[in-house]
Chains A and B, each alone.
Chain A
C-alpha cells in the first residue's frame, strides 16, 4: 500500500455540489498538507495541519475547508464547487526531523473536474 493514499483518484462533479477529497497516511507523520496544482502555477498551498488540533490556512483557502480526523487522516472539502476549482489536488505529509533528507511525501493526486 502507498504511504499516502488519496481518494478518489478522479472525480467529475457539478457546479454547486459539495465534495470531499480524502487523504490517509501510514507514515506516522504529524504534518499534513493540501495543495492544488494548475498548469504553469506549480503547487499552491490550500490548508495545512501540524497536528490533530492544529489547522492553518494556506495561500488559497477561500472556498475550501478541511478536517483532521486523526493523525493519519486529513480531508479537504469544497462546500460549493465551482469550475475554477478544476485542478489536480495533492495531499502531502512530512516529519520536521527528516524533511532535509526525504522532503515531503505526496499522494498520487486527485484530478477534480467541476462542470
Chain B
C-alpha cells in the first residue's frame, strides 16, 4: 500500500517562497505528481517527477529523492492567486497495469497573505 504525508496548512507572504514537503512509503513507485486545487474546484496538474532531482516550471519547482521517499514543491514569488491546496500523489506499480494508479496525500492548504 501507500502512505503519504504532507503538512496540513502553511502561511506565507506575497512575494515570498514556500516549500511544501511530502514524504511517502510505498510498496512500488512509478512517479510522483503535484496538483493544485482551489477551494471547491477540480485539481489541476502541476508537475511530475520520476527520477531524482529538481524539475522547474516557471515559478514552481518540484524535487524528488526516491531513496528518502521525499519530495517537495517550491513556490516562488508567491501571488495571492497561489492560495490553494497542494496535493502530493504517488503512482504505484503493479504486476498488472491496474497497479499504476494514483494515491493522494491529504493536501496542504497554503494561505498567501498580503
Contacts and interface: CB of A to CB of B under 8 A. Distances in A.
A40 B91 contact: no
Contacts of A107: 42
Interface residues of A, number: 28
Given A43-B87, A50-B97, A103 B104 contact: no
Interface string A34-60: 010000111111001010001010110
A41 B107 CA distance: 8
Interface in B28-46: 31, 33, 35, 40-45
Given A40-B106, A42-B106, A109 B91 contact: no
Contacts, number: 59
Interface in A66-115: 88, 90, 96, 99-104, 106-109, 111
A104 B105 contact: no
A109 B101 CA distance: 19
A50 B107 contact: no
B98 A56 contact: yes
**CB-CB nearest 10 A-B residue pairs:** A103-B45, A106-B42, A43-B104, A42-B106, A42-B104, A100-B48, A42-B107, A56-B98, A106-B43, A108-B42
26 contacts: A33-B102, A40-B8, A40-B107, A41-B106, A42-B87, A42-B105, A42-B106, A43-B87, A45-B102, A45-B103, A48-B101, A58-B101, A99-B31, A99-B48, A99-B91, A100-B31, A100-B48, A101-B48, A103-B33, A103-B48, A104-B43, A106-B43, A106-B44, A107-B42, A109-B40, A109-B41
